[in-house]
């Protein structure tokens, strides 16, 4: 092919290409995060009552559990961050969505780049007829390269990249949300375990006291100085208290196993719990300087819902692009030859634009646009509902923190009164001023009050934990190397060429730059 011919072909193609590129547009709505009308004026009524500024101690929301100053708890959460299966899966979904984004980004370049070639051996044999017998054989060669580049004339591919990028950022915030849940679950199970351990201790202590009373009444009855009624009542109360211990011990094992599952371990493999003892920590009021509305919108699950809207919004533009023609630049170079001497070698070149247009779709495109728009509205409603539920969780946790704190003051006084009552009942019984029923009633009341006071303390800790979870505390920006353990990285690299996707730092979402 001579130079003049190439110029004749290339010039109009270049002009058409420039015109089309200059006329490119992007269909569909641009993403805007929905506003929440009521949020600007929302303030939980009880938010400021958690503690006065003079009483409060500020904590880093990323590590809020350090408020408890418990080395065992800190170790358990650190272990969970490395070994929890759900957190690993969330990290792998980030890598998955990163690959999806790479696929979408590749559409900016020629979509068809194919090298083809064939080699064929041909043999013919002719027998009979006027021409006589004749044999012929030869080898034919063909090679070619095809190029097809659909221009992003209507923004189909740009919207696809936009959707994939939003999905990528949604996977990051989803992983952060797993961190929030994991921190709260480990802390809650840990203190539930300690609370149950103390409840077993209270039950055994009261059972020991009631056993002594039963033994005393048994001796008195055998000596003929007491009634069988006192004996049977003492025995009943002692055995009733004793019967609560197996149920509590079963609950203790279940809590340990649940905690072990969060740590990625087999049931029973939580040696960190073996040396636990002592009372539950006394909670001081905590200062959270930021207002709940801003904290709420920064919750990872709310951010995930917002990114899902962005991803779906771009799908409308992708669907609308089907209304318009697809314009593709095509190029093909082909060569063919064979071993027959009379046959010349052939070189062919094809260059030019192509147009495809679905002009009769019988409502398919229109209904696909409607489908994507309905899904967008669902995403918006899901976001609004996520914000609403998050606000409810904050308000519910705040009232629980306050009311369990108020209840504890009353229960402490009730426990002191029960202890004093038992002492007086024992004294009056020994001096002959009261019957044994008063002692039994006092023992029963003491056990019940001690149990209620401890359960309330555990409930208060659980409410504090829920408050920190509700405001979205407990997550970090994890480097890509920490999304999954090193052993998993090595296994993935051994299977597949991941390139630098397992080491390149994760980008910062546009809203946080």
> How many angstroms separate the CA atoms of 86 and 243, rounded?
37
Residue 51's pLDDT is: 47
Give the per-residue pLDDT at 1: 45
What average pLDDT does the segment 154-179 reach? 93
Q: Tell me, what's the pLDDT at 427?
A: 82
For the chain, give every domain's residue range. 34-111+155-323+367-512
How confident is residue 286, by pLDDT bands cut at 50, 70 and 90? low
The lowest-confidence range among 48-57, 63-72, 409-418 is 48-57
Beta bridge partners of 122: 138
What mean pLDDT is reported for the chain?
84
Closest CA to 177 of 187, 185, 166: 185
Question: In the predicted model, is pLDDT for residue 55 greater than 50?
Answer: no
Q: Please state the three-class secondary structure of 27-55 as a single string.
A: CCCCCCCCCCCCCCCCCCCCHHHCCCCCC
292 neighbors 387 (Cβ within 8 angstroms):
no
Q: What is the pLDDT of residues 31-47, one digit of tens each?
A: 888 888 888 777 765 55
Q: pLDDT (tens digit, 9 = 90+) per residue, 330-389?
A: 888 888 887 777 778 888 888 888 888 888 888 899 999 999 999 999 999 999 999 999
Q: Is the distance from CB of 67 to CB of 59 less than 8 angstroms?
A: yes
**pLDDT value of residue 40:** 78
The pLDDT of residue 53:
45
Per-residue pLDDT, 359: 85
Confidence of residue 124 (pLDDT cuts 50, 70, 90): confident
pLDDT score recorded for residue 255: 94
Q: DSSP of 50-75, one letter per residue?
A: S--TTT-EE--GGGGGGGG--HHHHH
Q: 34-111+155-323+367-512 is classed in which CATH architecture?
A: Up-down Bundle (1.20)
Percentage with pLDDT > 70 across the chain: 88
423-479 confidence digits (pLDDT tens): 888 887 777 777 777 877 788 888 888 888 888 889 999 999 999 999 899 999 888
């Amino acid at each position: 092919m001579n130079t003049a011919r190439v110029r004749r072909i290339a010039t109009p193609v270049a002009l058409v290409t420039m015109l089309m590129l200059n006329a490119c547009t992007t269909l569909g709505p641009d993403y805007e995060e929905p506003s929440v009308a009521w949020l600007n004026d929302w303030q939980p009524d009880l938010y400021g009552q958690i503690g006065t500024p003079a009483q409060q101690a500020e904590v880093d929301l990323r590590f809020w559990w350090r408020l408890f100053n418990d080395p065992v708890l800190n170790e358990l959460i650190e272990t969970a961050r490395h070994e929890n299966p759900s957190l690993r899966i969330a990290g792998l979904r980030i890598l998955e969505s990163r690959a999806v984004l790479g696929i979408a980004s590749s559409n900016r370049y020629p979509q068809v780049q194919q090298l083809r070639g064939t080699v064929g051996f041909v043999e013919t044999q002719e027998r009979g007829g006027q021409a006589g017998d004749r044999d012929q054989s030869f080898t034919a060669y063909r090679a070619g390269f095809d190029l097809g580049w659909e221009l992003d004339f209507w923004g189909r591919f740009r919207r696809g990249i936009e959707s994939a990028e939003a999905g990528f950022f949604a996977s990051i915030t989803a992983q952060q949300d797993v961190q929030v849940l994991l921190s709260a679950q480990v802390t809650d199970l840990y203190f539930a375990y300690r609370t149950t351990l103390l409840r077993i201790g209270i039950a055994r202590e009261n059972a020991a006291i009631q056993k002594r009373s039963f033994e005393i009444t048994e001796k008195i009855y055998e000596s003929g100085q007491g009634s069988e009624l006192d004996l049977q009542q003492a025995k009943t109360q002692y055995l009733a208290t004793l019967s609560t211990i197996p149920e509590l011990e079963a609950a203790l094992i279940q809590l340990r196993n649940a905690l072990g599952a969060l740590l990625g371990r087999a049931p029973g493999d939580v040696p960190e719990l073996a040396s636990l003892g002592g009372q539950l920590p006394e909670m001081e009021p905590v200062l959270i300087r930021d207002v709940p509305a801003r904290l709420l919108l920064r919750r990872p699950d709310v951010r995930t819902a917002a990114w899902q809207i962005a991803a779906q919004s771009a799908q409308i533009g992708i669907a609308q692009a089907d209304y318009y023609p697809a314009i593709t630049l095509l190029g093909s170079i082909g060569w063919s030859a064979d071993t027959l001497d009379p046959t010349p070698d052939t070189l062919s070149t094809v260059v030019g634009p192509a147009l495809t247009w679905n002009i009769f779709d019988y409502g398919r495109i229109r209904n696909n646009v409607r489908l994507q728009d309905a899904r967008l509205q669902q995403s918006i409603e899901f976001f609004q509902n996520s914000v609403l539920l998050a606000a409810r969780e904050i308000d519910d946790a705040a009232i629980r923190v306050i009311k369990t704190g108020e209840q504890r003051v009353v229960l402490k006084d009730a426990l002191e009164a029960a202890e004093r009552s038992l002492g007086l009942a024992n004294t009056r019984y020994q001096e002959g001023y009261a019957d044994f029923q008063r002692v039994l009633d006092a023992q029963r009341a003491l056990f019940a009050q001690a149990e209620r006071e401890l359960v309330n303390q555990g409930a208060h800790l659980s409410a504090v934990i829920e408050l920190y979870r509700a405001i979205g505390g407990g997550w970090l920006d994890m480097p890509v190397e920490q999304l999954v353990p090193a052993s998993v990285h090595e296994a993935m690299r051994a299977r597949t060429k991941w390139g630098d996707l397992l080491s390149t730092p994760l980008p910062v979402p546009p809203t946080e730059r």
